[in-house]
Amino acid sequence: MPTHNISYDAHPSPAALSAEDQELLEAAKGALPNSYSPYSNFQVAAAARLEDGTVVTGWNTENAAYPMCICAEPATLAAAASQRPGMPVVAMAITVKSANHVLDQPASPCGSCRQQLHEHESRFGTKMKLILRGESGPVFVFESAGDILPFGFSGKLL
Ligand code: THU
């Protein structure tokens, strides 16, 4: 039977990351208070590092009509596209904070976000490293956003 394996690093703390990846995670953490999440009380923020080293942040923005909520990941991709049109995002740190409990584990991007991250990689033919952390606890690092979307929909089919 065919199998699909995913490999990733699970570091006990951010101290194991390179200086630039630690900075990216700090930038995401610093953006958490910008989250507009009065309905879920669940803040999500991301920091993208672009090919030229620019760091751009984004966060989730909710709406009283719940399906219109904007996740942090596509908000960050859109912010990056506005600031540096046509430039790929080479790494994205994503972190979360709940008003209800301390999240001591990373939160995985939702399916819609994964598809959008995957599209970014296919569009530019580049890989986007993902650095995920909760409020505390381990840091998961995936070398490519595509790693967390096996069998993602491909525009090559259209
Ligand atoms: N959210 C994100 O920003 N990214 C994800 O990948 C999953 C969920 C947001 C949407 C909503 O504002 C809150 O988290 C709770 O679902």
Give the number of the atom of ligand 1 that is nearest the alpha carbon of residue 37: 12
Q: Give residue 137's pLDDT.
A: 98
For 101-138, give the DSSP string. Answer: S---SPPPPPHHHHHHHHHHHHHHT---EEEEE-SSS-
pLDDT per residue as tens digits for the range 47-80: 999 999 999 999 999 999 999 999 999 999 999 9
**Ligand 1: centre distance to CA 56 (Å):** 18
Domains of the chain: 9-149 (3.40.140.10)
Q: Report d(CA 150, CA 142) in Å as an integer.
A: 13
**How many A from CA of 137 to the centre of ligand 1?**
20
62 catalytic, yes or no?
Answer: no
